[in-house]
Amino acid sequence: MLMRILLLLICNFFLAGNLYAQYGFDTLRIYFDIGSFQAGQESYSRLDSLAAALQQQPRGILIYGYADYLGTEVPNQELSEKRALIVRNYLQEKGVGSQWILSAMGMGQRAARLPGEKGNPFNRRVEIFIKRTLSQSIPEEQKKEKQPQQPQQPMFDLASVKAEETIVLEQIHFYESMHKIMPASAPALQELLRVMRDNPTLEIQIEGHICCVTGFPDAMDIETGNLDLSYQRAKMVRDYLVKNGIAPARLRYIGLGHSKPLVPVELTEQDRIKNRRVAIRILKK
């Protein structure tokens, strides 16, 4: 019976395109009609499957509600909160203990707009992050040690960079909604470390940025449970450099949230990638 429930849950994730398979959490998304905080029957069926699985294998979950850009900011904030709470309450009614619901909150409206007057259906949603067990957390292919390859081209030419100029670290990427750095970013981190070692007077400020979230100073980091995602991403890069011998006095770090997007209106995933970035500002050469 347990296997059937788990298989049903996984099938529901895949049918919705919602299995977040990279690191630490699975993600289930359910969607709502314009202006509504009541989900459809299909969504409640998915929540039934989730509740049954969580009763068999309790795990922490985080629930975040969203609204699209139709209407105004304050009502959309309230709508996103109602969507998160309706999901929380439903799961509790189905037997999920309140101690396993680590967070249930509304994140307000999302900025990405589509042509027409029907809003963006993807943003009328609730996201449920389901924490994996320890054995599930790291995919097998990531457990194997791999020798990272060095970047084919230098990250930047320090001689051509002026003080107070910023450089985007385009090869450093993070898991969605986390400050965990993807393994593929290792060569870029090593190149930044090499630049810092080769230039012992160089001082920098590491600046974290996020995509997608407006109306808040920062986005939710599902690892910390706080609205500090851009800050934590900048700190993660700084901690890597310090761990590898760079003096903390040479490094500053700051989270800038969504205050300085490279792409003001995010319509594609490429737009979001450009805004979800870390940059370094040269303070002293």
Q: Do the domains 145-284 and 2-137 match in fold?
A: yes
Q: Cα(141)–Cα(143) distance, rounded to whole angstroms?
A: 6
> In 36-95, which ranges are continuous DSSP H helix?
41-56, 73-93
Q: For the domain covering 2-137, report its CATH number.
A: 3.30.1330.60
Q: Cα(257)–Cα(231) distance, rounded to whole angstroms?
A: 8
pTM score, whole prediction: 0.53
Instruction: Map out the domains of the chain as residue ranges.
Output: 2-137, 145-284
> How many angstroms separate the most distant Cα atoms in the chain?
65
Q: What is the pLDDT of residue 227?
A: 80
Q: Which residues of the chain have pLDDT under 70?
A: 1-25, 111-117, 132-157, 213-216
Q: Cα(279)–Cα(77) distance, rounded to whole angstroms?
A: 30
Superfamily name with CATH number, domain 145-284: OmpA-like domain (3.30.1330.60)
Backbone angles phi, psi at 247, to 5 degrees: -65, 130
